Amino acid sequence: MPLLKQKNNNNKRIKEMPKEFFSEWSNTWEQKGEPTPKKVEQPPPPEKTEQEPPLEKNKLEKTPEEIVEHFKEELKKIEDLPQNTEYQKRTKAKETIKLINGWLPFGNLDDFSGLQETMTVLEELEEIKPKKITSFPISKLKEHAGQRIAFEMALQYKIWNKDEQEKTEIIENFINEWLKNKSAYYNGAENFKRYLLKLPKRFLKSRWDYFLDKKIEPNKTWQWLSNEISTHLKFLGKKDRTIAEVSKILAMQNIPYSNFRSLINDIENQNIQRATEVELLKIEEMTEVEQLKLLMKAKQKFGTLPELPKKIEFYENQIDVLLKESPEKTALVLALLESYEAIKDKKAREKLEELKNKVTKIVGKEKNIPKPKVIQKVKEFIKEESGKKPLIKNGEETFKKESKIEEAQKPETKKESLLSTIGGTFGFGLILLLIIFLLVEFKAIEYLSKEQSFGGKK
Amino acid sequence: MNNKFLDLLPPEIKKTAENLYDLILERAISRAYQNLNEETKGLMTDIFNSGTDEEKEKFLEVYLGEIKQLMIEEAKKVMEEIKKE
């Protein structure tokens, strides 16, 4: 009997339950048709945006201002890159180095101020903490970049449009700032030296001395030792060696010793200073041709060649310099180096052959055109006479450089004559530049290694 | 042209450089010659047939002072011709 009652109770409970509980059931029972499929909302069709016209390829920058502006824009983009993780720091540093590589050949256009800004980017990356042993070696990159900029300043000394004193000051200030004051290696060596000089105080002081507050100075031996260790540690940095090479490069370009004397005095390592002075005396005694060849080697070793397509503008700039009637031998040296490099490659040789054949065709056609005989005579006269130097000693042409005393005693010479410029630096420079333009046009120089590895080697 | 400069060039380029220099110089002189009047042309012929080196040099400096500019223009023309070949 109680079971029946329970059953009845259960029924009551079911009835009391809210209808919502049975709503699904009730719907299925009530609907006779098939359940309607749920409407899946389709995503709205993508809005048709007008396609932007494809960006034009980088036009060749012709003016120096445009070249500088281009590099400054690149620098801004790099400055905006994030630098929170190690990977980001590494990427930013590598991009900065690429920019420096591209900017170096044109540094003189803005007095190397843009390149100094790139160094501040590297400095900011270096100062980010915490520094770990596994951190990307930005200090080393910064040191290396500073050295390369200093070398380029020296190599572009002649074509740099500024007073000689100002140029030397800029070079000196740059080296002192980036290879001394802000150099991790130089400052590290100095800090280590200070640490060593404090050591005796910590180890040799007795308790009684502490009580009496007695000052203990390191003896002479300890001072000498800390100096020597610091000097050797500074070899990890590049300051003294950079100054030595920069002064040699300036001497190769016939710049008077008095103009960069202060730079040599900044060399702290006495051995390097003495060796540099000996080298400078040797360079001073060389002939012009020997100095030129040495300068070419220095350019190959320390300089940076511009990448395409900026090469054409670079050489157009050089033509302007040549037209100013001053024998800018560095421009010729740069042009020479381009031609030397072009010829080493096999494909470049083929292109050069092609160029040679075309030149001989045109020259052959020109010979068939009748011209007055006087033109031929004028041409031969110019070729013969223009090769002669104004000073002829003992009937022989010499390229020997006069000593400073002889130069001072010499009476004021006239301006270089028309003949000597046509057959001299102007004529030679013009032809070289023409050949290089043509090599570029025939893409012979394209076969050079375009992007140089960090270190300037090809 | 001064041979010492040409000697600095590699041999592959030296001959081409010499040919180009001859071509450009000849064309520049022809253009300068065409710009002269008949009297000056006659004077030029006399000087370069029988004059001294000093007279020749003086003549060039007086009447062919723009030769450098002409050489640059001819160089550009030669460049265009070579490209078209």
Total CB pairs under 8 A between chain A and B: 148
Best CA proximity match to A269, nearest among A302, A314, A238: A238
**Among A356, A424, A430, beta carbon nearest to B2:** A424
Percent of chain A with pLDDT over 90: 14
Write the DSSP assignment of A32-69 as a string of letters: -SPPPPPPPPPPPPPP-PPPPPPPPPPPPP-SHHHHHH
**Among A340, A366, A427, beta carbon nearest to B21:** A427
Phi, psi dihedral angles at A393 (to 5 degrees): -105, 125
The confidence score (pLDDT) of residue A370 equals 85
Higher pLDDT, B23 or A292: B23
Residue A174 pLDDT > 80, yes or no? yes
For chain B, the C-alpha Rg in angstroms (whole number) is 15
Interface check B59 vs A, CB under 8 A: no
Best CA proximity match to A417, nearest among A388, A395, A376, A392: A388
**Among B2, B10, B48, beta carbon nearest to A381:** B48
- CA–CA distance, B9 with A400 (Å, rounded to integer): 20
Residue A360 pLDDT > 70, yes or no? yes
The confidence score (pLDDT) of residue A129 equals 61
Instruction: From chain A, pick out residues whose CB is under 8 angstroms from the CB of B85.
Output: 358, 361-362
Interface check B45 vs A, CB under 8 A: yes
Instruction: From chain A, pick out residues whose CB is under 8 angstroms from the CB of B65.
Output: 418
User: Is A379 in contact with B26 (CB distance < 8 Å)?
Assistant: yes
Asked whether the beta carbons of residue B12 and residue A343 sit closer than 8 angstroms, the reply is: yes
Asked whether the beta carbons of residue A379 and residue B27 sit closer than 8 angstroms, the reply is: no
Instruction: Give pLDDT tens digits for A241-274.
Output: 999 999 999 998 888 888 888 889 888 888 899 9
Asked whether the beta carbons of residue B60 and residue A289 sit closer than 8 angstroms, the reply is: no
Categorise residue A44: left if φ over 0, alpha if ψ from -120 to 50, beta otherwise. Answer: beta
Interface check B42 vs A, CB under 8 A: no
Interface of B with A in 1-30 (CB under 8 A): 1-6, 8-10, 12-13, 15-17, 19-27, 29-30
C-alpha A119: how far from chain center = 10
| ipTM of the prediction | 0.90
Instruction: Give pLDDT tens digits for B13-47.
Output: 778 888 888 888 899 899 989 888 888 888 888 88
Instruction: From chain B, pick out residues whose CB is under 8 angstroms from the CB of A397.
Output: 4
- CA–CA distance, A213 with A205 (Å, rounded to integer): 9
**Among A355, A366, A434, beta carbon nearest to B75:** A434
Residue A88 pLDDT > 80, yes or no? yes
- CA–CA distance, A277 with A248 (Å, rounded to integer): 9
Instruction: Give pLDDT tens digits for A366-405.
Output: 888 888 888 888 888 888 776 664 422 333 333 334 444 4
Higher pLDDT, A95 or A310: A95
Phi, psi dihedral angles at B33 (to 5 degrees): -65, -40
Residue A63 pLDDT > 80, yes or no? no
- CA–CA distance, A107 with A98 (Å, rounded to integer): 14
pLDDT band at A201; cut points 50, 70, 90: low
Instruction: Give pLDDT tens digits for A65-80.
Output: 777 888 899 999 999 9
**Among A339, A427, A434, beta carbon nearest to B10:** A339
Instruction: Give pLDDT tens digits for A420-448.
Output: 666 666 676 677 667 666 666 665 554 43
Nearest-CA distance B59 → chain A (Å): 11
Best CA proximity match to A158, nearest among A284, A322, A312, A269: A322
The confidence score (pLDDT) of residue A62 equals 54
Instruction: Give pLDDT tens digits for A298-353.
Output: 877 887 766 544 455 555 555 555 445 444 454 555 555 555 555 566 676 777 77
| A31-53 burial: b if 16+ Cβ within 10 Å, else e | eeeeeeeeeeeeeeeeeeeeeee
Residue A209 pLDDT > 60, yes or no? no
User: Is B69 in contact with B27 (CB distance < 8 Å)?
Assistant: no
| A73-110 burial: b if 16+ Cβ within 10 Å, else e | ebbeebeeeebeeeeebbbbbebbbebbbbbbbbbbbb
Residue A411 pLDDT > 60, yes or no? no
Residues 6+ apart with CB under 8 A from A308: A440, A445, A446, A450
- CA–CA distance, A81 with B35 (Å, rounded to integer): 61
For the question of whether the overall pTM of this predicted structure is more than 0.80, the answer is: no
